[in-house]
Structure 1
Amino acid sequence: MSKDTSLSKKKSGGKLPLGGLLAIIVLLALCAGLFMIFRDTTPPVVAIAPDTAQLGKGSVVTVTVTDPGSGLKSLEIYAVQGDKRLPLAARTYPGGIMQVEENILLDSATMTEGAFTIEVTARDSSLYPFGAAGTTRTDRTYSLDLTPPRIYVESPVNNLNQGGAGLMVYALSEEAAKTGIQVGERFFPAYLQPGGSGKFLYYCMFAHPWDVAVKDFQPFVVAEDAAGNSAKRSFNYHTNARVFRHDQISLSDSFMEQTIPEFQGLVPNQGSLLDQYLYINNTIRKENRARLVEFSRQTSPTILWSGPFVRLPNAANRARFADARDYMYKGKKVDFQTHLGLDLASIQHAPVPAGNDGRVVYADFLGIYGNVVVLDHGLGLQSLYAHLSSIAVHPGDMVQKGQIIAHTGATGLAGGDHLHYGITVGGIPTQPIEWWDGTWIKHNIASKIR
């Protein structure tokens, strides 16, 4: 009898009692429940864009909501202006998605100019805290501006030459985020001046580009305010057509052998001498001209120069502005480019004077131009001195008219010692000889300046 009892105890000792099993099941269920309740204790994250303070007609407000925990349950967006509360969006998400983005186009028919607030309420699918979903409420205040700038033209007469420059004076009803003169795809920035007498006065140097025919030249004053509202206006002008020369440049192997090594590291070391030269004459030329536009943005908002510009003394004219050039190799035309400056030849290594007062914005090697100095004279007007053998100034230096800044040379794509002299407006090459003419400056520039 005692033997059987002992065996029975052994068998029952190997099994978990029913009460203990139930306790474990309850404990696991409790842990799972607590996990479900506390697995998402972070409310949704809401971002409202843009970051600007002012919005205009057609502006879009973007609301982005994320909740990587339990996912989103609902979203409400309102615009509050005065005593009006306008519903902009109301969304529910049964599946509990993790991120949503709402792009809201402002409706000028239901909103008026002035301050308004975007209010956002986002709820997630969490159970914590005990039945109330995780909720985020946030807002952002903007100012709605629906009125574009008004443009007041103050230069009634604007005479230009094809390839030449001009100055436009105009005023705006408000300070612009961007304004200037648009000529096709080219943009000439304008610069705010002091003393607008209740308006915002702007000076804009612009050009009739050499490659735009008179019939195609249509300049417009454009202005955009901080809210993105834009305005555009034509103005009175007269421009004279110009006929530019056509020339030929003969390329020889000896010239290319002499020139190409200066561009080491800039030209692919493959192909013939002609292939490498054409790469310089095309690809690098375009890159260099793009740099001139970049330099033009490093300009003084006020005029730094005065009176006519000075010319390289005792120098003979060689190539002229906007000469069309056919490049010939072994009797065949292999390229075409336009010469956008004046070539002035004097003695070898002749001292080069600054054309007028200004600030040095560049003094270094620049591809086809060789060693270069670029001077800024304000309002985007800059002078360029190229193919130099030596440079006597540094970026940031202020120079005076006639000060020696360099010496002529034959660096870059130069066939001999000379000065390539250029004038750019907004980075666009223009006719330099206009700036040597005191009468032209008086009638077309100085007479408009207050």
Structure 2
Amino acid sequence: MNKDTSLNKKRSTPKLPLGGLLAVIILLALAAGLFMIFRDTTPPVVTITPDAQQLGKESIVTVTVQDPGSGLRSLDIYAVQNGQRSPLAVKAYPGGIMQDEETITLAKSNLAEGEFTIEVTARDASLYPFGAAGLVKLEKSYSLDLTPPRIYVESPVNNLNQGGAGLMIYALSEEAAKTGIQLGERFFPAYLQPGASGGRFLYYCMFAHPWDVPAQDFKPFIIAADSAGNSARRSFNYHTNPRAFRSDRINLSDGFMEKTIPEFQGLVPNEGSLLDQYLYINNEIRKQNRAKLVEFSRQTSPVMLWSGTFVRLPNAANRARFADARDYMYQGKKVDHQTHLGLDLASTQQAPVPAGNDGRVVYADFLGIYGNVVVIDHGLGLQSLYAHLSSVAVGPGDMVTKGQIIAHTGATGLAGGDHLHYGITVAGIPTQPIEWWDGTWIKHNITSKIQ
């Protein structure tokens, strides 16, 4: 018994003195405190947008702040103008969050037009040293513009025909970020002309009364927006003549479709009947092609490149006319309806095609329903289109002169025989080509306004 008792005494663990235990606790508390102090020595990250210096009444300033360390404690946003500080947002985060975003709508502020500064102060919940490392201040200066552009109409008389074009000349009190004539969902861009004077900036705008807009629904107006987002709109005097367009029938045959569809290999789903594939071309690809014409119109000169009347394909007979309403018939039944938006001119096979007027080639390649195509830009969004060509003699970027041979007629695309499909577009919208062969019309509606 005595031997076992002495053995147990030898194996017992000595007890830690009370003073040593207290020292360990203090060291652990000190380590935890130091961890809390040093765990976040990086201040919050603040960003202020937008980067644009010029702002308008409808502009929004966004302040984003984040602190992934100890989290955010407070955020103060002030506007400073003419020595006056106005609070825009003052926030505290008792529970602490890692990120926040504040949007400031200038329309709801009391800022006056002129220079001002956005001042942001953000604090996080860090303790090192005494919270000073968790403080950040950021400023960004802006200019507030509350005045929309003023519009001065320079063309008091504007006569148009349904399907035809016109020219509006007007001035603005400042250079615009976007300006032109709005007609429903269609927009006709205007182009700044050189030589601003007297605080006025002169703009030329080619626009149209589209064939598919009834005269009673034709209600165009000028719009102008500056870089600060301020916008203005104004109506103007005009008179438009309604026009009635012809109707026509196109009879589809299996032979014609068998000959035509292979040219669209890779563009048409290889499924369905011949008729299904043709209707896909006549509808979906037609829409794509017309959208391309709008794209081409943005590649335009801001000044006129043409002069005088446009030339016509020599010794050519008129076939289909502009805005003919076409019913497509197959085996005695109507299967489709489209509008023919150009003039079909028939001459000898592979007849030489002259450029209608001076300009720059913006496209010379295959374009779906139009086959081989040349598109020439004449400035101000006015462009001429030459389609169904058998060969092309010019390329994109080439400058051409009125009457220069640019191609030869053919039967590519959806052509039923050798001819030239001739079109005139304004901002990509097809218009009546015949107007541009008429010197009197050009004088009264275009050049007299410029002079």
Q: Same fold (TM over 0.5)?
A: yes
1:2 is displaced (CA, Å) by 11
Q: Deviations over 1:249-302 (max 9, x none)?
A: 111111111111111111111111111111111111111111111110110000
Residue 162 (structure 2) pairs with residue 151 (structure 1): no
Q: Which residue of 1 aligns with 2:278?
A: 277
1:28 is displaced (CA, Å) by 4.1
Match runs of 1:286-325 below 5 Å: 286-325=287-326
Q: Which residue of 2 aligns with 1:122?
A: 122
Query: Is the 2:369–2:413 contact (alpha carbons within 8 Å) kept by the matching residues of 1?
Result: yes
- 2: CA distance between counterparts of 1:141 and 1:189? 32
- 2: CA distance between counterparts of 1:368 and 1:334? 18
The 1:32–1:4 alpha-carbon spacing in structure 2 relative to 1, beyond 3 Å, is same
1:391 is displaced (CA, Å) by 1.1
3-state SS of the aligned residue for 1:270? Answer: coil
3-state SS of the aligned residue for 1:96? Answer: strand
The 1:168–1:33 alpha-carbon spacing in structure 2 relative to 1, beyond 3 Å, is same
The 1:12–1:430 alpha-carbon spacing in structure 2 relative to 1, beyond 3 Å, is same
Q: Which residue of 2 aligns with 1:135?
A: 135
1:11 is displaced (CA, Å) by 3.8
Query: Is the 2:42–2:133 contact (alpha carbons within 8 Å) kept by the matching residues of 1?
Result: no
Query: Is the 1:171–1:196 contact (alpha carbons within 8 Å) kept by the matching residues of 2?
Result: no
Residue 38 (structure 2) pairs with residue 38 (structure 1): yes
Q: Deviations over 1:274-333 (max 9, x none)?
A: 111111111111111111111101100000001101111111111100000011111111
Q: Which residue of 2 aligns with 1:103?
A: 103
Q: Deviations over 1:399-436 (max 9, x none)?
A: 11111111111111111111111000000000001011
Query: Is the 2:125–2:131 contact (alpha carbons within 8 Å) kept by the matching residues of 1?
Result: no
Report the RMSD for the aligned CA atoms in angstroms.
1.9
3-state SS of the aligned residue for 1:439? Answer: helix
Residue 362 (structure 2) pairs with residue 335 (structure 1): no
Residue 369 (structure 2) pairs with residue 368 (structure 1): yes
Match runs of 1:339-350 below 5 Å: 339-350=340-351
- 1: CA distance between counterparts of 2:445 and 2:123? 65
Residue 181 (structure 2) pairs with residue 167 (structure 1): no
Q: How many residues align?
A: 449
Residue 222 (structure 2) pairs with residue 224 (structure 1): no
1:108 is displaced (CA, Å) by 6.6
1:5 is displaced (CA, Å) by 7.4
Q: Which residue of 1 aligns with 2:72?
A: 72
Query: Is the 1:387–1:409 contact (alpha carbons within 8 Å) kept by the matching residues of 2?
Result: yes
3-state SS of the aligned residue for 2:101? Answer: strand
1:34 is displaced (CA, Å) by 2.4
- 1: CA distance between counterparts of 2:262 and 2:171? 51
What is the identity, as a one-letter code, of the residue corresponding to 2:119? E
What is the identity, as a one-letter code, of the residue corresponding to 1:389? S
1:109 is displaced (CA, Å) by 6.7
Q: Which residue of 1 aligns with 2:427?
A: 426
3-state SS of the aligned residue for 2:132? Answer: coil
3-state SS of the aligned residue for 1:262? Answer: helix
Q: Which runs of 5+ in 1 are unaligned?
A: none
3-state SS of the aligned residue for 1:268? Answer: coil
3-state SS of the aligned residue for 1:95? Answer: strand
Residue 446 (structure 2) pairs with residue 449 (structure 1): no
Match runs of 1:45-56 below 5 Å: 45-56=45-56
Q: Which residue of 2 aligns with 1:239?
A: 240
What is the identity, as a one-letter code, of the residue corresponding to 2:44? P
Q: Which residue of 1 aligns with 2:205?
A: 204
- 1: CA distance between counterparts of 2:13 and 2:395? 98
1:97 is displaced (CA, Å) by 1.0
The 1:279–1:23 alpha-carbon spacing in structure 2 relative to 1, beyond 3 Å, is farther
1:31 is displaced (CA, Å) by 3.3
- 2: CA distance between counterparts of 1:288 and 1:383? 15
1:26 is displaced (CA, Å) by 4.4
The 1:107–1:211 alpha-carbon spacing in structure 2 relative to 1, beyond 3 Å, is closer
- 1: CA distance between counterparts of 2:278 and 2:24? 85
Query: Is the 1:39–1:69 contact (alpha carbons within 8 Å) kept by the matching residues of 2?
Result: yes
Percent identity (aligned): 81
Q: Which residue of 2 aligns with 1:254?
A: 255
- 1: CA distance between counterparts of 2:245 and 2:188? 24
- 2: CA distance between counterparts of 1:407 and 1:22? 103
3-state SS of the aligned residue for 1:94? Answer: strand
Query: Is the 1:181–1:187 contact (alpha carbons within 8 Å) kept by the matching residues of 2?
Result: yes
1:99 is displaced (CA, Å) by 1.2
The 1:3–1:146 alpha-carbon spacing in structure 2 relative to 1, beyond 3 Å, is same
1:347 is displaced (CA, Å) by 1.2
1:22 is displaced (CA, Å) by 5.7
1:8 is displaced (CA, Å) by 4.3
- 2: CA distance between counterparts of 1:399 and 1:5? 118
What is the identity, as a one-letter code, of the residue corresponding to 2:209? H
